[in-house]
Structure 1
Amino acid sequence: MSATLTVVGLGSGNPDRLTLGIVKKLKEASVVYVRTKEHPVMAALTELGIASESFDGLYETLSSFPEVYEAITSRLIEEARTAEDGTQIVYAVPGHPMVAESAVSLLRKRCPSAGITLHVLGGESFLDEAFVRLGFDPIEGFQLLDASGIRRSQLQPELHTLIGQVYDTFTASETKLCLMELYPADYEVVVGHALGVENEESIQTVPLYELDRLEGYGNLSLIYIPANREGDIRKRTFSRLHEIVGILRSPEGCPWDQEQTHESLRKNLIEETYEVLETIDEDDPEHMKEELGDLLLQIMLHSQMEEELGTFDVFDVIQGLNDKLIFRHPHVFGDTNAGNAEEALQNWEGMKAEEKRRKGVKPETQSALSGIPRDLPALMKAYKLQKKASKVGFDWDNITDVIAKIREEIDELQEAIDAGAPAEEQISELGDLLFAATNAARFIGADPEEALTRTNRKFVERFEYIEQSLKDKGVSLEESNLEEMEALWQEAKHKERA
């Protein structure tokens, strides 16, 4: 047998809220430990003649809160394990033992295996005072967050949100930065200190940007963000996007959206993808933001159609993507290493093959060229086919041989044209030439699609220069001639190099 360990809550700070049962338990205790003496109720305990030992010293000697809570847990378990039978050890914490008390959670996990009997007696938590002093009903939707680990993904503006553990100005500043990822800088929030404690309570409503300019943060501080179910704040949440797309497709929504199918939107998906690529080429972040939104809408619409059929929804899509990213990055989320991008890619391909095996597909029985989408643009598909063939050794030895092959294909195309060969044969020879040119791109480490895109852009810029130059002279393209346009073309090239 060992001692009995009891955890009690000292309430939110008002001594009048201490229950008779907890006061009795404190008086009967053989020894009382408190997490901290920095609590308004401690003065009342002294008046009641209840002596205690605090763990305040651990906060000064240890570098992090987890280390403090681990040390408290180990100390209490050791004290209970070595104490004489019948010893009653009480550990008193601010507020309620099961609200924001990590050491209590650790005790609940470790005491059973240590053979220690653990009792937990509740007390008034800071939540009780917050509901009363801040005037909201948690049944409307409520969440409690820890300021020391707050993340953007946790924020749900449609819920009443309390943020505890705002110990100091630094924590308030970190909280402010997180909140400003969702809320406007001038959004009003409430800061409360020592709620319910006579002569110590302070409640202030301030714009978000002033959150870390206030004084008085400490153990009894919190931040309150009232629920906001208006669209303006929720517009930055994924749940609102999902909701809007659902409304558009609903019987009360947009007639055009209601009529769309996977097939009717197929071309839109392709077009939006290319519009995103254009913004990348133009290095235009503002335009890119807009076009990425248009592309995301296509994904949302296709997912919504399947949700209506009951097959899957966009959250299933997200889960599948998360699972894939974690599985295919064992060098990040597992115990595999990758010292460079090439090793990381090898890991990705290895895990991709493993995925197929788990689905009953044997990669070794498939063609070395499998896995390339059927409807890829031809130039992009040629590039991918060549890369896959290269992996199994079917490739040119060097770029010189590739260039020689290009010359050979040019000659064969010329011969077909000179001989008046059928159009189909000439097209075939032209395809061979383009395929060989794609090989050259691969050997110099260039993407042929990107290379041709750059040339297209360059052609447009030079041709527009010709148009503008002629326009400045009062001459139209139709009124000009090839020699004049060629001269302007060379002039445009010269200006590019200057």
Structure 2
Amino acid sequence: MKSKITVVGLGPGSVDYLSFNAYEKINKTVKERLFFRTEKHPTVDWLKEKGLSFNTFDDYYDKHETFEGVYENIVGDLTEEAKNGDLVYAVPGSPFVAEKTVQLLIEKSKAGSFDLDFIPAASFVDAVLAAVRKDPVMGVKIVDGLQIRDQLADTRMDTLITQVYDRYTASEVKLSLSELFGDEHLILVVRAAGIDGMERVEEIPVYQLDHLDYLDHLTSVYVPALSSEEKEKHDFFDLLDIMARLRGEKGCPWDRKQTHESIRNCMIEEAYEVVDAIDKNDYELMAEELGDVLLQVVFHSRMAEEKGNFDIGHVIEGICTKLIRRHPHVFGDEDIDTASKVKDKWEEIKREEKAEKTHSESMKRVPGSLPALMKSMKIQKKAAKVGFDWDEVGPAFDKIREETDELLEVLQEPVLSGRRAKEEIGDLIFAVVNVARFLKIDPEEALNSTIDKFVERFSYIERKSIEKGMEMKEMSLDEMDLLWEEAKILKNG
């Protein structure tokens, strides 16, 4: 027959929280089979006054460098002790609230070596809520103060931050709260909740949190949510609410009228504006333009949600799942150690997802709305991956000459030149892109650079014509060519 570990909750502090069942179980257990995670608890003091004897794990906190190490060793010892028969393990508060050792015991019990039983109790959360006189029905987020950077508070609902036990932790919590709520937001610091004669609740602004001199292991921080009027910073959920209101019955006539098709070009325009901000190395502008792209994502998602097609949750779920699936070397156990191998694996997984049986299918899936230079580069790269490529750049240059000759030949036949010239120019541009690919040059960037250079030199010619009191159209081509060369010399220094 398997042994049983009975986990008993002691309640949050005052002996008034200790249940009759918990007291009976503890009182009837001999010292050798009774273990307390810690004796630093008011109820334990009362039990000691009653003559109760037990074992504690308090010395483990000095033996091990991390809390994880403490908890793992406690559970390891309890598991070993259970081999000798039933035992009782008492923990502060509730066994199921902020009690890592209990969660580890539950995991260990799945192996079947021992059974678990529980005598529940009120948690410190109940005591804190009573101390601050708050009803959690509208939602309370519980955050570990030691993990504040990974478990951010939520401005839309109240937040209870635990384990704010020293000034260093308080400082970390303060910095995180300041970013979300502002320095002046009023918070409630709660110490020794539920303990008679010790409970303390103090309302202070965020910036004073790490100035307090009474912080200890019994200290928590209760952070009220921000009202819409108090908000200095907005978050993603505010954007969703704003879009819902704009599209709602009493919203904006223009926003309500839009469809996926009517704002299609907005997505293209906003994406190009982000690229422009990147090219300018303007981070403030980049943040603004990325916001405009995000608006388009939310706008389309809202319209789709109204039709029952998908919502923003589906969009986020889709991209998260895709990223995890396409990075098996990060989220799985595959060994991929170079960026080029990562890219190859990405394409391989992508083809599997799209059920592409041929490379032609992969080419046909390249979006038709992509800029032509970008699209041609993608197509050529896909062809090169299966060996449809030259070994060196020389033949690619020969192809440019060949396509140039064919274009010149077509232009000698005026009757056919229109349609065929268009075709041959396309072939010529495609050949130029191929050379760019060999040279690892982005043709879009190269052409944009040339356009900018042209505009700059043209502007120089125009300025000089104005200085001479002339209209540009009054200048001869030779005069403009001279100024063009002058602009080149000035630019090159």
- Seen in structure 2, the aligned counterparts of structure 1 residues 466 and 50 have a Cα distance that, compared at 3 Å, is farther
Distance 1:153 1:17 in 2: 29
Matched, 1:101 2:99: yes
Matched, 1:436 2:436: no
Could you tell me the percent identity over the aligned residues? 43
Q: CA deviation at 1:464?
A: 3.0
Q: SS state of the match for residue 145, structure 1? A: strand
- Seen in structure 2, the aligned counterparts of structure 1 residues 142 and 109 have a Cα distance that, compared at 3 Å, is same
Q: Which amino acid aligns with 1:406?
A: I
Q: CA deviation at 1:240?
A: 2.1
Q: CA deviation at 1:333?
A: 0.9
Q: For each residue in 1:355-377, what CA deviation from the matched residue of structure 2 results, as whole angstroms up to 9, or x when unmatched?
A: 13xxxx34238546332112222
Aligned structure 1 segments of 4 or more residues deviating by more than 6 angstroms = none
- Seen in structure 2, the aligned counterparts of structure 1 residues 488 and 177 have a Cα distance that, compared at 3 Å, is farther
Matched, 1:377 2:371: yes
Q: What are the ranges of 5 or more consecutive residues in structure 2 without an aligned counterpart? A: none
Q: CA deviation at 1:177?
A: 4.0
Paired position in structure 2 for 1:400:
394
Q: Which amino acid aligns with 1:134?
A: V
Stretch of structure 1 that moved more, 482-491 or 58-67: 482-491
Distance 2:487 2:150 in 1: 50
Matched, 1:411 2:405: yes
- Seen in structure 2, the aligned counterparts of structure 1 residues 469 and 340 have a Cα distance that, compared at 3 Å, is farther
Matched, 1:461 2:463: no
Paired position in structure 2 for 1:62:
64
Whether the aligned pair in 2 keeps the contact of 1:152 and 1:182 (CA below 8 Å) is no
Distance 2:18 2:254 in 1: 63
For 1:55-134, what aligned pairs fall within 5 Å after superposition? Answer: 55-83=57-85, 89-111=87-109, 113-114=111-112, 116-134=114-132
Whether the aligned pair in 2 keeps the contact of 1:234 and 1:240 (CA below 8 Å) is no
Whether the aligned pair in 1 keeps the contact of 2:247 and 2:255 (CA below 8 Å) is yes
For 1:303-452, what aligned pairs fall within 5 Å after superposition? Answer: 303-356=301-354, 361-364=355-358, 366-367=360-361, 369-418=363-412, 420=414, 422-452=417-447
Q: SS state of the match for residue 96, structure 2? A: coil
- Seen in structure 2, the aligned counterparts of structure 1 residues 205 and 481 have a Cα distance that, compared at 3 Å, is farther
For 1:109-188, what aligned pairs fall within 5 Å after superposition? Answer: 109-111=107-109, 113-114=111-112, 116-151=114-149, 155-188=153-186
Q: Which amino acid aligns with 2:79?
A: I
Distance 1:112 1:284 in 2: 55
Whether the aligned pair in 1 keeps the contact of 2:94 and 2:122 (CA below 8 Å) is yes
- Seen in structure 2, the aligned counterparts of structure 1 residues 494 and 81 have a Cα distance that, compared at 3 Å, is same
Matched, 1:289 2:287: yes
Q: Which amino acid aligns with 2:40?
A: E
Q: CA deviation at 1:245?
A: 1.4
- Seen in structure 2, the aligned counterparts of structure 1 residues 206 and 435 have a Cα distance that, compared at 3 Å, is same
TM-score, normalised by the number of residues in structure 2: 0.90
Q: For each residue in 1:327-356, what CA deviation from the matched residue of structure 2 results, as whole angstroms up to 9, or x when unmatched?
A: 111111111122111010111112112213
Cα RMSD over matched residues? 2.7
Distance 1:266 1:139 in 2: 42
Q: Which amino acid aligns with 1:414?
A: L
Distance 1:109 1:406 in 2: 67
TM-score, normalised by the number of residues in structure 1: 0.89
Whether the aligned pair in 2 keeps the contact of 1:152 and 1:179 (CA below 8 Å) is no
Q: Which amino acid aligns with 1:278?
A: D
- Seen in structure 2, the aligned counterparts of structure 1 residues 108 and 427 have a Cα distance that, compared at 3 Å, is closer
Distance 2:46 2:151 in 1: 41
Q: Which amino acid aligns with 1:68?
A: V
Matched, 1:259 2:261: no
Q: Which amino acid aligns with 2:251?
A: G
Q: CA deviation at 1:444?
A: 0.5
- Seen in structure 2, the aligned counterparts of structure 1 residues 301 and 4 have a Cα distance that, compared at 3 Å, is closer
Q: What are the ranges of 5 or more consecutive residues in structure 1 without an aligned counterpart? A: none
Q: CA deviation at 1:239?
A: 2.2
Q: For each residue in 1:384-420, what CA deviation from the matched residue of structure 2 results, as whole angstroms up to 9, or x when unmatched?
A: 2211221222223322222222233333333433554
